[in-house]
Amino acid sequence: MKVNAYLEITMKIDNANRPAAAKVYTDYRQPFLDTIEGALTKELLVRDEDVQVLHGFDNVEHAQAYLSSAMFQNDVFVGLKPLWSADPDVKIYTVA
């Protein structure tokens, strides 16, 4: 399948909290790919100023649905929220 949409979540996370954030990413990467409808890829991107998780989906609807999924709401969000130094920036893109 081809990636037709991306969900980009950009987070401000202090350096001291980045190992914990990376653990959340690692713990849920494979379950995300195995169980979330339309999920195709998931990458962790790190810069000095922020951390970004880029999720690839087969369509925009599946990207939007993931944000309401039990995995995101009950596991990923709960695990990451205490690590943020600011609210995350969430964007969904369509591949042109």
Instruction: Give mean pLDDT, residues 58-85.
Output: 97
Residue 2 clears pLDDT 90, i.e. is over it:
yes
Which CATH class for the 5-94 domain?
A: alpha beta
Contacts of 53 (CB under 8 A, 6+ apart): 8, 9, 11, 25, 42, 43, 44, 45
SS (H, E, C) 26-94: HHHHHHHHHHCCCEEEEEEEECCCCEEEEEEECCHHHHHHHCCCHHHHHHHHHHHHHHECCCCEEEEEE
**Percentage of residues in the chain having pLDDT higher than 90:** 99
What's the confidence (pLDDT) of residue 31? 98
What average pLDDT does the chain have?
97
Does this model's pTM top 0.85? My answer is yes
What average pLDDT score do residues 2-29 get? 97
pLDDT at residue 1, rounded to an integer:
87
